[in-house]
Chain A
């Protein structure tokens, strides 16, 4: 338990730094609002086409808002990890009496929680002003927060897997682009997956992307306790898979570590 205290400290420090970094929070909020403006306008045009779509524009905007909120709130630990590995800084971090991976995770979690809170207010506020609240049971809202936080955590873990690839490749950013576009495509970022071809839907359900974004946000379209537990279970499973992959890659990576002037 005492060993967790230092990571809790890393988390709180990172959280307070992220909250004080107002320029970054303003930038992210601005970016989130732009995404919401684009998609709210896109769906207004589509809604004007009678019979074009079977979903209600109100719930659709909430769906997109819940997606964008988490998509933008997830920080970029892979960039820091790449720099640590490329610059040789890792050599200084390894002897510290704390795990490099755990400190990276808790530091990212602190940033995520700050983004999560601020962007949550922005996205919920904007969407509420645009279309009002959707008809949902009261219990749904705290569950949205809980599952949103969980999907963000799983997102961080996957980004850490990408970050560890820096042991073998020079730049990890191209992999981040692909990860983001797959989240976009298989996660149903701007379109619920029910719109996609059946083979696409079948394929995406075996990937983590819709659990991080689309399925989770689709709860606003049709909320159900079974679906909530199904998504939570899948997120936990993918999270465990990531932890295993991170541990394995890190162990293999350390064996080939070449410190660049560290």
Chain B
């Protein structure tokens, strides 16, 4: 309940400048659709990549845009974690009787996330793999993806507890995941493919859902859910282990 109230406030703040919100959303949709056109050109020339066709790419982009958008809207605070830890500014969050990690995550919402979510809606209608019949499945995949994006971000940013100011590297890591999810994981082989499901969980965010759209099996679905839950559990574990090492900067601050 606390998280949803916090989220409501953060979202209101992020869309308070209506003009900026509209420009950002429209340009973000344009930005994503330009990328889709590039894939269209690519598949026009090559027909398929590792058994994937243009329709599969639309499905991949629907899931990834939705996941990334949801993560930006609901868990935007992840981007600030490393900076907050390194500067010793966790104190205002620690003095409140609420879950610190959820408080940090919900403290910020990015309006550009709405542009990604709207792109997902457009792509839902454009693609043939996503239908009203499998809409509930798509929504689950989008929620899964946003949780994995956020968990990976939390893990990367929490390393600040041990390594100090690593904000730039953490951001690059998150950007890299965002980059990897836009390409089918089956273009990699061997060790690289393992990395795509562990160190850079692009396979869990985008590839596995599209495989499930192609051929749904309960076993594969449960493997996906277990992977997502593992990432979430790992994120909480790394953050709270790191929190034991946290040193305050003795700054006074109040958070309402």
How near does chain A come to B111, taking the closest CB pair, in angstroms? Answer: 9
What residue in chain B is nearest A48 (Cβ atoms)? Answer: B50
Q: Which of B41, B166, B192 contacts A41 (CB 8 A)?
A: B192
How near does chain B come to A43, taking the closest CB pair, in angstroms? Answer: 9
Among listed B17-25, B62-70, B220-228, B237-245, interface-contacting one: B17-25
Q: Is A42 among interface residues, defined by CB-CB distance under 8 A?
A: yes
What residue in chain A is nearest B45 (Cβ atoms)? Answer: A195
Interface centre among B24, B112, B176 (most CB of A within 10 A): B176
* Chain B residues with CB under 8 A of A170: 17, 19-20
A positions within 8 Å CB-CB of B? 23-24, 26-28, 30-31, 34-35, 37-38, 41-42, 44-46, 49, 52-53, 169-171, 173-175, 177-178, 181-182, 184-185, 190-191, 195-197, 200
B166 touching A181, Cβ below 8 Å: no
A53 touching B28, Cβ below 8 Å: no
How near does chain B come to A158, taking the closest CB pair, in angstroms? Answer: 16
B24 touching A24, Cβ below 8 Å: no
* Chain B residues with CB under 8 A of A191: 38, 41-42, 45
Given that A170-B19, A171-B24, A175-B27 are contacting pairs, would A185 and B38 also be in contact in the complex, using a CB cutoff of 8 Å?
yes
* Chain A residues with CB under 8 A of B180: 34, 38
Q: Is B139 among interface residues, defined by CB-CB distance under 8 A?
A: no
A41 touching B23, Cβ below 8 Å: no
A184 touching B35, Cβ below 8 Å: yes
B187 touching A41, Cβ below 8 Å: yes
B171 touching A174, Cβ below 8 Å: no
A27 touching B171, Cβ below 8 Å: yes
How near does chain A come to B118, taking the closest CB pair, in angstroms? Answer: 13
Q: Is B92 among interface residues, defined by CB-CB distance under 8 A?
A: no
Cα A169 to Cα B171 in complex, Å, equals 26
Cα A88 to Cα B41 in complex, Å, equals 44
How many contacts between A and B, using CB within 8 angstroms? Answer: 93
How near does chain B come to A149, taking the closest CB pair, in angstroms? Answer: 24
Q: Is B4 among interface residues, defined by CB-CB distance under 8 A?
A: no
* Chain A residues with CB under 8 A of B37: 185
Cα A40 to Cα B43 in complex, Å, equals 17
Q: Is B214 among interface residues, defined by CB-CB distance under 8 A?
A: no
Listed A/B pairs (19) with beta-carbon separation below 8 Å: A23-B165, A30-B169, A30-B176, A31-B172, A31-B175, A34-B180, A37-B192, A38-B179, A171-B20, A173-B24, A174-B31, A178-B34, A181-B31, A184-B34, A185-B37, A185-B38, A190-B42, A191-B45, A197-B44
* Chain B residues with CB under 8 A of A34: 176, 179-180
Q: Which of B27, B42, B192 contacts A174 (CB 8 A)?
A: B27
* Chain B residues with CB under 8 A of A178: 27, 30-31, 34
Q: Which of B19, B34, B45 contacts A53 (CB 8 A)?
A: B45
What residue in chain B is nearest A193 (Cβ atoms)? Answer: B41
Q: Which of A45, A175, A182, A200 contacts B50 (CB 8 A)?
A: A45
A174 touching B23, Cβ below 8 Å: yes
A169 touching B41, Cβ below 8 Å: no
| 9 nearest A-B pairs in the assembled complex, by CB-CB distance | A174-B27, A27-B172, A181-B34, A177-B31, A170-B20, A27-B168, A41-B187, A45-B187, A34-B176
B187 touching A42, Cβ below 8 Å: yes
Interface residues of B in 1-41 (CB under 8 A from A): 17, 19-20, 23-24, 27-28, 30-31, 34-35, 37-38, 41
* Chain B residues with CB under 8 A of A182: 34
